[in-house]
Amino acid sequence: MATAKKIDKKHITGGETDGGITSSYATKDGVKLKVPYSFMGTIYGKEEEEAVLAAMKQDTLTMGPKTAEFQKKFAAMCGVKHAFAVSNCTTGMHVCTQLFDIKKGDEVIVTPNTFIATSLVILKEGAIPVYADIDPKTFNIDPKEVAKKVTSKTKAIYVVHYAGLMVDMDPIMEIAKKHNLLVLEDCAHAPYAEYKGRKAGSIGDVGVFSFHSLKNITTCGEGGMITTNNDKFAKGIEMLRCMNLTHERDAGVNEWKFGKITCKKTSPLEYWLPSHFDVNDWNGHWGNNYRMNEIQAAVGCVQLDKIDMLTEKRREIGHKITAGLKGIKGITPVFEPKECKHVFHLYTVCVEEKELGASRDQFMKVLYEEEGIQTILHYQPTYHFTGLQKMGYDPDQCQNANMFFYKREMNLPMHPRLTDADVENMINGIRNAAEKVRTKK
């Protein structure tokens, strides 16, 4: 087999940005790409531009009328009572971790096949992520493995709807009910996805969404949303995402004493007394400024108006790729259960080394260097990161997740701007690369 060209790290454009690999996968290594991996997950048009300019002319530029509109539209889309815009998905999950009163020593069961953010919000509160292995077919957390991980210290289950395919939620909710656990749905990949007719973010106690530039709908690069049907949680979310501010203080009371200071209303019109807001803890937790601005929300409103079209484009592309890859020995296309509506945030192809006669890495090199198809990997098992290894996590746990990342998976370019020619190039490239790695051995 031909020796692959060594890629100098200085040629990775992502390394030249403040976001590093979280903001670009572009390279400068001389490889001529037919289908590059894109960091823009949606389609922007004139409507978004007009919405931005209109929002910039408002008197309120943060948490104003466009945010309220975005929240209302999003709640309706998900079929939930409440939706709260936040600065991003990670901050939204941090709010919910505090909301759940997760403290030092508590255990939270979570998938290892996810971005670090899902575990980071648990670690930030001094709690312990406990990793349950994934289903090798769906790549989602396996409910049977979750059940094995429950202990007297378990307080919650955090599921991630990987790639846009929802987790098998009914058994997850049964486990949670049996053990009195809370459930967070990390819906970063899954806006508009469905499980047995129910939308992502509507089944667990809370759902949290991402509007990062890679995602199916985006709000100028960053943004997030929390959904819930729990009225009490709704009050906590409002406070924790905005510095524990509350506008409720002693309803009907017209006089307040603060040490030697007395504030007294003489008229109900004196709205400024004793102050226009109060600050209080939520279950002993203190929040932060995790608000969304009006420009982001305005773009989000337009994106929601397009979500049917954006989702159908992704699904059409995903199904075309699946059909085109069927029958290629050693290549496993995406599996979509009948009870689910996959929204194809990612298109994950699995390489089965024994059937193909070559490793996943050998296959990726040929696909990239000779066929011009740029693929990437998601996600290294969280417990393999240096910080968690220093904490003593077993690197050999969750064998399905380990095998998935290091031996099987790769993600094709996937966004709604892909053309028929792009799709054909990817299918043909995979077919050609599969033949090449067999003959080059």
Is residue 136 reached through a cis peptide bond, with omega within 30 degrees of 0 on the bond before it?
no
What is the torsion angle, in degrees rounded to the nearest 10, for the CA atoms of residue 99, residue 101, residue 106 and residue 108? Answer: -20
Mean pLDDT, the chain, as a whole number? 94
Q: In this predicted model, what pLDDT tens digit does every residue of 155-205 receive, in sequence order?
A: 999 999 999 999 999 999 999 999 999 999 999 999 999 999 999 999 999
The CATH homologous superfamily to which domain 9-39+307-439 belongs is Aspartate Aminotransferase, domain 1 (3.90.1150.10)
CB-CB contact of 352 with 407 (8 Å) = no
Which of the four CATH numbers 3.30.70.3460, 3.40.640.10, 3.30.43.10, 3.40.50.300 does domain 46-244+283-304 have? Answer: 3.40.640.10
Asked if the model's pLDDT at residue 295 lies above 70, the reply is: yes
In the chain, pLDDT over 70 holds for what percent of residues?
95
Asked if the model's pLDDT at residue 17 lies above 70, the reply is: no
The pLDDT, as a whole number, for residue 16 is 63
Instruction: Record the pTM.
Output: 0.94
The pLDDT, as a whole number, for residue 1 is 31
pLDDT band, very low/low/confident/very high, at 30 (cuts 50, 70, 90) = confident
The pLDDT, as a whole number, for residue 21 is 64
Residue carrying the six token digits 């709000």: 219
Q: Using a CB cutoff of 8 Å and minimum separation of 24, what contacts does 144-149 make?
A: 144/171, 145/398, 146/109, 146/172, 146/175, 147/171, 147/175, 149/109
In the chain, pLDDT over 90 holds for what percent of residues?
88
Please state which of the ranges 15-29, 42-56, 81-95 shows the lowest mean pLDDT.
Answer: 15-29
pLDDT band, very low/low/confident/very high, at 207 (cuts 50, 70, 90) = very high
Calculate mean pLDDT across residues 48-60.
97
Please state which of the ranges 85-94, 276-285, 293-302, 359-368 shows the lowest mean pLDDT.
Answer: 276-285
Calculate mean pLDDT across residues 22-40.
85
Q: In this predicted model, what pLDDT tens digit does every residue of 208-221 receive, in sequence order?
A: 999 999 999 999 99
pLDDT band, very low/low/confident/very high, at 441 (cuts 50, 70, 90) = low
Asked if the model's pLDDT at residue 9 lies above 60, the reply is: no
Pairing of strands 261-264, 331-332: unpaired
Residue carrying the six token digits 């998601």: 378
Task: Name the CA radius of gyration of the chain, rounded.
Answer: 24
The pLDDT, as a whole number, for residue 61 is 97
* Domains in the chain: boundaries: 9-39+307-439, 46-244+283-304
Asked if the model's pLDDT at residue 399 lies above 50, the reply is: yes
pLDDT band, very low/low/confident/very high, at 336 (cuts 50, 70, 90) = very high
